[in-house]
Structure 1
Amino acid sequence: MTAWTWDYDPSAEYVTSGLPPGVLAEVERLATELAALGRDAAKVGLPDHKEGGLRELDILGGYGLVGFLVVARDSCVYVVNVTWTG
């Protein structure tokens, strides 16, 4: 088990404002899985030609994107943006 965690940046209210409950649940599920990957989460998602920096993952069949940062010094995955088009 990893000691990594996840959090919203700058805040949960800012990032998730207006999202349906099901979308919010999916975002939090993905964030939990990314935190379980720890440092390797920097290799997940797009862009696929490099690791680190702002990463993006499709959610719920391509109806949205989750933007996240992997910060090794904090042992944390920060969810910074959620775009929902559904």
Structure 2
Amino acid sequence: MTDWTWEYNPSQEHVVGGLPPGVMAEIERLATELAVLGADAAKVGRPVDREGGLREFDILNGRGFINFLAVPRHHCVYVCGVTWYG
């Protein structure tokens, strides 16, 4: 277990406002799991050839994806964007 947390950036309304509750729950579940990974979250998802920077991770069997940043100096994973194909 790490001391990392996660947050929406810039805000929950901006990132996931209007999405179905099940999709929001899945995003929050994944964000919690990414925070548990701590600094290793910077290696998850795409791009696969490098770590750090804005990362992308598929959700719900390819029906969308999240963009996130793992910031070691803040001990935080920031969920910055969600694309939902419905």
Question: Shorter-chain-normalised TM-score: which range?
Answer: over 0.9
Distance 2:59 2:46 in 1: 13
Please report the TM-score for the alignment, with normalisation by the length of structure 2: 0.99
Listed as ranges, the gaps of 5+ residues in structure 1 are none
**2:35 match:** 35
Report the alpha carbon displacement of residue 18 of structure 1 after superposing the two structures with TM.
1.1
Report the alpha carbon displacement of residue 17 of structure 1 after superposing the two structures with TM.
1.1
Listed as ranges, the gaps of 5+ residues in structure 2 are none
What do residues 14-72 of structure 1 show as CA deviations (whole Å, max 9, x unaligned)?
Answer: 00111000000000000000000000000000000000000000000100010000000
- The AA in structure 1 aligned to 2:16 is T
What secondary structure sits across from 1:6 in the alignment? strand
Please report the TM-score for the alignment, with normalisation by the length of structure 1: 0.99
Query: Superposition RMSD on alpha carbons, in Å?
Result: 0.4
Once the two structures are superposed, the pairs formed by residues 1-86 of structure 1 within 5 Å of their partners are 1-86=1-86
